[in-house]
Structure 1
Amino acid sequence: MTILVLAATGKTGRRLVPLLRADGNEVRAASRSGEVRFDWGERETWPAVLAGLRAVYLVAPEDPEPIEAFVAQAVQAGVERFVVLSGRELDRSDGRFGHEMLAAERAVAASGVGWTVVRANNFDQNFDEYTWREPLLAGRLGLPIGAVAEPFIDVRDVAEVAALALTGDGHFGQVYELSGPEALTFAEAVGMISEALGRPIEYVELSAAEYEAELLAEGYPAAAVEALGALFELMRAGLIAEPTDTVEKLLGRPAASFAEYVERVWRRP
């Protein structure tokens, strides 16, 4: 089948595309700077991207306004299934974090065609492909999380589950809660990365106000700071601290551990 992968240059998309192609699917890898140009804010780019599709991997834009119209246009063009990337327990965050992902969940659920939602914990790769990379390399990571653990998940497992839901049977109407196999505190995770690098990295516990002040001082937009603060509030409540066995049930093997990720990405010879 022909499958559209949105955010194809992102963490999950760039891993999902080769998985789907290796299985014989035609993939339209779309983003603002990818193989196929797609821009949520330029609706004139939508028709060509949607033509002849059977399935869509949907990663919501920061502004949820165009999502409903896009889903409706995709269904009209012949799309028969959606797989949406989302996060665990976002409906408990009062809309301050993940409102765009929740909007995508609602849009596909109301679309009248098959849909699957993949709700994941924080990715392992957030440590080396996201905000936390530079502080780690500088020797200090400060966050407002305390001793609450997080069952970080390898983004490659998320991509495999998404590929299964896009191409397999029995996934319509399912909401899959994905996590890694064990929960670690951020201090433990930073300690593992520090050991692998062979040099000290300090984990510092910040208050919510201190974290906000540091992000603003680094030039983060106020809206992004508020969203990150809401995410850590959700995490501090322990709502996403419990590991799930969904990856193992779906893929027939255990989810990759954080230790495996650290060994692969951070270990220095």
Structure 2
Amino acid sequence: MYCACETDVLVSMGVARDAGLAVSVRSGGHSTAGYSVNSGGMVIDLSEMKGVVLDEDRALVHVLPGTPFEVFNGALNGTGWHVPTGACGSVCVAGFVQGGGYGYTSRTYGIQSDKAAAFRVALASGTVVTANERANADLFWALRGGTGGNFGVVLQVSYHMVRLPSVWGWSITWQAEQAAQVLELLQKDYTRQGAPRTAGLHDEPGLLQRAGGVHGARHVLRPAGRGLRCHRTPAANPRRTTGGGQGGLLPRAEQLF
């Protein structure tokens, strides 16, 4: 059932309840374990329920469950506000936050569920409740990591925003035939402690890319960038690209590396 509003969700849940159907909930469909589908039951699809509203006076942002990160991040871009999100733009909010939600900036700001301030949830009974630290606190605790879709259908998430300084991004890629050499390099040089807390990393499937971001003032970025020189090996033969955010900063490669 493709739902465009809360009423659609409640009607769908009522039909499933009356028919005795198992229900799975899907926001972006990125559950590799298959939790967002089932056989012989009903899938409540929230991908049409998209929207972002900023409440800057209270440092909150309210997001509908089917909002993909490319929309979520786009709404925050240029505002100076931030919530940790994932590396894939088509992943949607509801499933991500209920799974915990690790992102590029999580080493500094925590996983996304750490920033959840409140949930609006449709329960199996057909009632809609708010779950936060004061109301339905047990439900609020349960929704923040590892329990997606087990306790209700998330209709909206409110997040605490944080201030984010300039962001500098980098990406290193290599050919498939070089993967074994790169893996040895990763095991040797990427498991050490001491990386700046402002640095975040992400691996693409297939060990063909390493990407990340660094945020902070320029004096913080320079030592972090120098640490990336270990990528420069003949075996990996990396292609380096950089990008920037917040005010249109586009650092050249030598500034980061």
| TM-score after normalising by structure 2 | 0.26
| TM-score after normalising by structure 1 | 0.25
Highest relative contact order (Cα 8 Å, sep 6+), 1 or 2? 1
Higher helix share: 1
Larger gyration radius, structure 1 or structure 2 = 2
Higher strand share: 2
